[in-house]
Structure 1
Amino acid sequence: MKAAVLTETGQPLSIVNGVALAAPQRGQLLVKLAYSGVCHSQLMEVRGKRGPDAYLPHMLGHEGSGRVISVGDGVTKVSPGDLVVLGWIRGEGLDGGGVRYECNCPRHSAINAGGVTTFNEYALVSENRVVPLPAGIPLDVAVLFGCAIPTGAGIVTNDIRPVPGNTIAVFGLGGIGMSALMATKLFDCARVIAVDVEEDKLLLAQSLGATDAINARQVDPVAAIKALTGGMGVDYAIEASGQAAVIEQAFASVRRSGGTCVFASHPEHGTRISIDPFELICGKQIRGSWGGGSNPDRDIPLFAKLYLDGKLPLEKLLTRRYSLAQINEALDDMEHHRVGRPLIEIDGNMETPR
């Protein structure tokens, strides 16, 4: 098969042919990929901003969709022929562990992989990293259920659960931030404030229900949020930009006496955030979110129904398609804010239940 492989951090991915397929072992299944998403965390890993990488060379990608080709011993969750969502958040089923692919290529005899990868034509995947594709969900939209939706929307539906009249600010309108923003419309929030540095993303956020939009390149977002909330700040701030400085801004934007900043982003390795401890004494809170507190087997069917009911227009997040050979272009476009959630089309002819 063909795969995009990280051979050296800080360098483009290598498109490698001749990666040998193998039969799935206990707890694993072999999946033929239809589509993959591209998450900001993958960009950080390629650019070497996750710190030392002990597993080079290795495959990447952690949200995708495809069809099960075969299953190993012990796998009962899916069967050959099933369409599935692939994601990094562990769900029900066996953990088949990491994978080491043999490779008939000039530079490497073997390539490492984790429990799930999606920048490749086929993948050996752990059973606990897949969920059966809910009926009616297109295979391209399905990739968002692997990371963006359970993390972003999950922060709102699982971690925050706002009550009527709450105010929320969303910092960073990539796949996770935009998913969180869409999920706020499931609740009766008084104000939903979108914060980003790109006007097209802010316009999309307003079309998806944001009551206010703040361009952080043009104004101080904390001052602007305070002005919109009578000087108090918001009840909740969701930070999804992946920058330590923005986590600090999000924390500064929440009100005293119970305001909460929740972040799911992972800034560059070695960076630190700085907050005034007096603000904690005054009742502000800050916490991280691991995958939006989602259980994929429970939450993906719920989010799928919301999509089918027209309450989560996820197709609007997929702003551009790329081939697997164009993966580095997709990463560059993401890095320079030219695209929302890049979609890698690996086998667009695979049957999809539209």
Structure 2
Amino acid sequence: MADMLAGRLHLADRTLRMESVAVPEPAPGQVRIRVEAAGVCLSDVHLIDGTLTPLYLPGDVVTLGHEVAGVVDALGDDVEGWEPGRRVLLQAGERDRRGTVFTRGVDYDGGWAEYAVASEDTVVPIPDDLPFEQACIIPDAVSTPWAAVTDTARTRPGEAVGVWGVGGLGAHAVQLLRLVGAAPVIAVEPLATARDRAVALGADAVLDPADPAFRDAVLELTDGRGLDVAFDFAGVTAVREQALTVLGRRGRLVLAGIAGKPVTIASDSPFNYFQQAVLGHYGSESEHVVQLVSLARQRRLDLSGSVSDVLPLAEAEEAVRRVHTKQGNPIRLILRP
């Protein structure tokens, strides 16, 4: 089989190299897809800079990319129900029988390549009118906040919510919270451009976390009761500390961002009295991706504004630089082979 271009992370020196590698052959139970679009996530940047390290990667080199969409190209033995040419996206990972989660582009080769292989049960069909550039970001960029909103927080209609960080995850959280009927949806962002984006995405109010009147503003927006749910999509210690000061009775703080730092509750007395909770959140389950594809198909979810730019796969290093420096304040950059 011919060779292909792939973005390979070498863990020994934490370098991303664009390399020519063999096109993978699908093993029994696997499907090979021709990649049409792959998202660039902040997690990819953290893998390169050493903030994150694969837990289950058997070697020290991996093709990055856990947000992937394309066309079925070839089938391994014993695969049924799929045919070449079918438009699909790939789940961001898979779980083994013991419950261990293996993440695509982290623990095994991902989609920053011309072709990728996947277990057949991680392949999800997408409608013909859903662009690959939008479909590829549903796993993770959209499904992670969707799972945080619907499962971890169990957000109910009419609940007052705050979203700290309106980047790749938080921007979608604003849309999804409106979809489930949360109100008001308050976006908290230090960047003025990101606050403007939050308004365009449907936030009922936007606040600067550095505003001395921040707590008073939240109480005014919530008729004095405080937030029912606060979402930390920034992964910053100061965010958690601030969010805890504006939680209401039975309020939940959901940690969707990863700070790698201790979580501190200033005083257990009000925390206990108001029966508040801190909830950890990570990723999503396969059904969340399927739900979102259905919502997109039924025109309940518009991801057209999520694609900040599309770059050739060969320019993966430039895409990583732009995400790292937040150049242009992107929601998602997409690589196209």
Closer, same or farther: CA 221–125 of 1 in aligned 2, 3 Å? farther
Structure 1 residue 13 and structure 2 residue 4: aligned? Answer: no
Kindly indicate whether residue 91 of structure 2 is the aligned counterpart of residue 87 of structure 1.
Answer: yes
- Name 2:169's counterpart in structure 1: 176
Aligned to 1:44: 46
Deviations 1:106-132 (A, max 9, x none): xxxxxx974551111111222233211
In structure 2, the CA distance between the partners of 1:293 and 1:122, relative to structure 1 (3 Å rule), is closer
Residues of 2 paired with 1:171 and 1:113: CA distance? 26
2:303 paired with 1:303: no
Count matched residues: 326
- Structure 1 residues 51, 115: closer, same or farther in 2, change over 3 A? closer
> Where does 1:257-276 land on structure 2 (aligned, <5 Å)?
257-268=249-260, 271-276=261-266
Query: Separation in 2 of the partners of 1:280 and 1:5?
Result: 46
Residues in 1 aligned to 2:305 and 2:129: alpha-carbon distance in whole angstroms: 17
In 1, distance between residues paired with 2:54 and 2:77?
A: 34
Partner of 1:109: none
Segment drifting more, 218-227 vs 3-12: 218-227
In structure 2, the partner of 1:26 is: 28
Runs ≥4 in structure 1, deviation > 4 angstroms?
Answer: 9-12, 51-54, 217-224
1:202-240: CA deviations, max 9, x gaps? 111101111111223555755643453355421111111
What's the TM-score once normalised by structure 1's chain length?
A: 0.81
CA offset digits 1:168-216 (Å, max 9, x no partner): 1011112211111101122333311011222222111101111111223
Q: Give the alignment's TM-score, normalised by structure 2.
A: 0.85
Deviations 1:32-89 (A, max 9, x none): 1111111221111111002577642211110011111112123335322211112314
Distance in 2 separating the partners of 1:48 and 1:88? 20
Residues 1:327 and 2:320 aligned together: no
Segments of 5+ residues of structure 1 without an aligned counterpart are 100-111, 348-354
RMSD: 3.0
Moved more, 201-210 or 5-14: 5-14
> What is the percent sequence identity of the aligned residues?
28
What is the alpha-carbon distance in structure 1 between the residues aligned to residue 219 and residue 233 of structure 2? Answer: 20
1: CA distance between counterparts of 2:175 and 2:54?
Answer: 35
Name which of 55, 58, 74 aligns with 1:70: 74
Give the 3 Å change call, closer, same or farther, for CA 293–83 of structure 1 in structure 2: closer
> Does 2:334 align with 1:341?
no
Shift in alpha-carbon separation, 1:126–1:281, aligned structure 2, 3 A: same
Structure 2 partner of 1:250: 243
The CA deviation at 1:329 is: 1.9
Which region of structure 1 is more displaced relative to structure 2, 46-55 or 165-174? 46-55
For 2:65, the equivalent position in structure 1 comes to 61
Counterpart residue type for residue 290 of structure 1:
Y
Is 1:213 aligned to 2:206, yes or no? yes
Out of 116-125 and 174-183, give the one that drifted further: 116-125
